[in-house]
Structure formats: structure tokens, C-alpha cells
Amino acid sequence: PAMSVEDAATSVWCRGSNYTERMCIFRNLYYRGDTGDFIFFHGQKSSALGLVEGRLEVAELSSISDHSALYFTYTDMPINELSRFHISTVQFTTLIMSRLNPDNIMHAIHDDLVPIFSTARELCACETSAEIHSYLSSLTVFFADSRQKGRYWELYRMLLPKSPILGVSLKSSQLVRLEKAIVGLRKESTWYQYGFKSPQGPIQEHFSQARLEVAQFVEYFRNAAGVKLAAKSRGCAVFLKRTQNRRVLNEDALLAMVRRYTGLETIVLDINSEPMSYVIKLISRADMLTAMHGSALVLSMFLKPNSAVLELFPYGINPEHYTPYKTLAHLRGIFYLSWRNTNKSNTVAHPNRKPHLGGIMHLSPEEQQKVLDSDKVPQHLCCEDPEWLFRIYQDTVVDNSIVPLLEKIRRARQDYTHPPRVDKLLPGFVRDVECLVEEVGHLLVRWKEPWNTNYVTDSDCQYEVWLQTESGVTAVKTRCCYYSVNINETVFKIWVRAICAGNIGGFNVFPAQCSVE
């Protein structure tokens, strides 16, 4: 049956205290292609739960927090104006998001693909690959950005069985009705911030969740790419080649040093000239990945256990200030080292290039000289610092100062073990808290240990006891399941919690109440 006008009105349900944390589910959200607007048609049956009055930003379209170009908002319209438009409908569930830079593989994987995967896992409460694939097969992703498919569209299609909708391709004034639309990606799978408001660096508060989400993504994506890991395969060292800029000028000499000092066969890989399924398969069987600092190193997530990453940095760049791939190696349990060119004569700069590729001719003569004289790029914000761009786009001759690192990798690969996953398992609530008055002015408090302590820790637990009286609160710790104290008060309340291996459990919900007469 045809939908009535009132039934076609928009509704939304949101959770989250602010736009950075918020996820919203829309019913009958509309998109107008010629203006690029999402439209909320208000009717008698419209609901809008969890929105802030006077809203400017409803939620975020990306996993990148608080980027001004990535806010989601909509235009209001009365439902009686809906009849003015021609309408097509996208059934089932649509995930609305924006890509920051689909031509950069780090952004494509870190900002988009892993968060899409993580969000899908949450929405379907899935664990197995079959469950996740089934959910993704029913999901349509709507890219609300102004970009075309981008260089790495193949990766998006590996993850998403249904072809995503490009908002930029919808130019008509006709409306697209999204029957059920979701806005707000899970952000906990991201491990790095790019320096938009403070110098770039790892998002440490995400590490425990990102470690799990990335591991699940890698396993799923390998299968999606048709990659099967052999129990034993001949290892190799893969060198990621750059052909346009930030090149290694003595590539053959570098590969010879890698072969000599690691004992590994070397393979040169240009990720932009091979199918991504082949790229992922090759890296998945590699023992070592070497490359100049750059977005392709995000593919190190597909390395197998006990492999290594050697990241190369041009002259003037401090590796400790640029750590997305060092952080990723930490999350994946991959051995990581970096090499930095400290010999200025081994670098070739390009001051005459365009500014975004490291050129400095647009600067004043004084500023140009300052950049040329500098041997260390200071920390900076993204993304147009001329000194950073000048140095990062240099070409480099890699000299034999890299040899000790190659030897270290050879030794470390034999001994390195992936640290086991450690979950924070908390003791439960203590049980049966009671107090006994043994004699006037003397109190005995006792309780039973949480029933799960034998399962979450191998160490002894201690207990924190809080006694509240009219004059204040006294807190003590004990390793026993009782506490004896002389007390002058007559009425008090008691809370107890367990602390096992540094993990703190909760206090008993209802305090034991005692009186000493």
C-alpha cells in the first residue's frame, strides 16, 4: 500500500551527550542532490529524541573527532511540502558518513574502513565472519562528502558487498528517501589523531579497544580479499616503492643491504600498480616491511606475527613526532624500528615544486633561508607547515647507518614474542556484609569475598572498608574478610570493595547499617 504523507514524516532517535559521541537513527530521512542537503520533514508523527535544542551539529560524519568539515546537520521542512518533490527510496539500512581523503590509503583504512567494520559489529552484535558479512550485505553506505570514488575504491568494495552511494553523484532536485539511516561511527577503533588542534600523536585511550577491533578487521578483510595464510610459507622482505616523491634514490643498494643483513629475499612493491588483493596477500606472508614514512605503511596491519617494520625518515624529520605506524605496530604486536637520515649530503630537496609538495618559492627570502638552514622540523599542526612539507618530500640516499637496525631485526625476529592479550577483569561485589557488636564500643565487620575472584586473578585480594559516621568517613584496607575496630560512635554505615591485582571492584550497593548502644 502507498505510504500516507504523515507516515512519510521524519523521526530520529539519538544517544550520546554531544555531537562527538552521538549516534542517531533516522526514519525517513531525505537527501536532495542538487543542494547536498539532508532534509527532516516534520509532521504530526515525527519524533526527535536525544537532540539538543538549537542544534547546529547533530552528530559527526567521520571517525575523526571535531573536524569542522565533517559535521552532520539537516534542513527542516514541513511535511505538507513533501508532495512538491519526486522521491526514490533506499530500503533497508543506510550508514551515512563522509571520507576525509579517499585518495590516501591511511585515511581510507584508519578513518573509514575499520570504523565502518567496528560500527557494523556493534549494530548487529556480531562476532563471526559469517554474521558480519550477512549484516554488511544488507547495509548501504552513503558517502556525504564531495569526493569521487577515489584511488582506493577497490578497498571499500572489498569490505562492502553493496556498492556505496556517492552523494556527489546525485545532482537532481529529486529526493532520495532513506528508509532507515544511521549517523555516527564508532571512534574507539582509531588509534591516531592527525594534529588538527594539537601536534599529531596516538590516541592512547583507544588502545585497548583499537587493538581488538583492528585484529578483527584484519582477519575479516584478509578473507574478503581471498587471502589464506599458509601454516608455513617462504618469508620475504617487502619494500614499498615510491615513484613520484619522497623516493629512496639508491634503492638497489638498500635492497642488497636488506638481503645481506636479514637473510630475507626482497620484493619491491608499488601498491598503486597492483590489485589490492595481491598487495594484501604479499604483505600477509612477509617477514619484514620497509618503506619511507607514508600512508602505505598502514598495510603493515596485515603482517603476520613475529614480523618487523622498518620505517625510513628523510633528513630533518624526528621519527618520535610522527608515529601512526609505530603505534599500529604496537597494537598488532609487530617489531618496529625506524631509521632517520642524519646526513644532509644524502638528501635531495625540491624547493621549486608546488607548496603542497614541499616547494618553498612562495615564501619570503628570509623564510626560505630559515627552512633551508633548519636541521630539525619543530612540532606543528596539520597540514600546511612549509618546513614539514619541504623536509618530508625530500628524496633520500640510505647509507650503511641502517645496517645495525637490519642486524637487530634479524636477531629480534627470532626472539620476539607477541605480548598476550590482557583484559581488565574486575572482582565482583563482596557478599553478605554484616557488622557485629562484640562488646560496647567494639565492632566487627565481616563479609564474603566476591564469587568470581578465583577466576579473574591468581593473586590475593585486599579489601577497602569505609565506615561512615556522623563525624565523617574512615577508610582502611585489609587482606582479611573481616575488620575489627574500637569505635565511639553509635550509628554508622559500612561499604566494602575488593581490589585484586590492582583492579578495583565496586562497593556493595546497599551499605550495612549498624548501631552500637
pLDDT on residue 422: 64
State residue 229's pLDDT score: 81
- In whole angstroms, give the CA distance from residue 467 to residue 469: 7
Question: Are 330 and 463 in the same domain?
Answer: no
CATH code, 451: 2.60.40.10
pLDDT at residue 170, rounded to an integer: 94
Same domain, yes or no: 472 and 502? yes
pLDDT of residue 283: 97
- Is 117 found in the same domain as 244? no
**21: CB partners within 8 A, 6+ apart:** none
Query: Whole domain around residue 75: which residue ranges?
Result: 6-189
384 and 482 housed in the same domain:
no
Phi, psi at residue 299, to the nearest 5°? -70, -10
For 393-435, how does the pLDDT look when each residue is reduced to its tens digit (9 = 90+)? 999 999 999 999 999 999 987 666 656 666 788 999 999 998 8
Model's pTM, two decimal places?
Answer: 0.89
Residues 443 and 401 occupy one common structural domain: no
pLDDT at 85: 95
User: Is the domain of 226 the same as that of 269?
Assistant: yes
DSSP state letters, 373-422: H-SSPPP--SS--HHHHHHHT-EE---GGGHHHHHHHHHHHHH--PPPP-
Within a domain: residue 198?
no
Burial of 179 (0-12, 13-18, 19+ CB in 10 A): middle
pLDDT in tens, 2-26: 688 889 999 999 999 888 999 999 9
Domain count, the chain: 3
User: Hunting for cell 625540491 — which residue is that?
Assistant: 350
Sites in the chain below the pLDDT cut of 50: none
Q: Is residue 97 part of a domain?
A: yes
Of 189, 218, 237, which marks where a domain is finished? Answer: 189
What is the pLDDT, as a whole number, of residue 421? 63
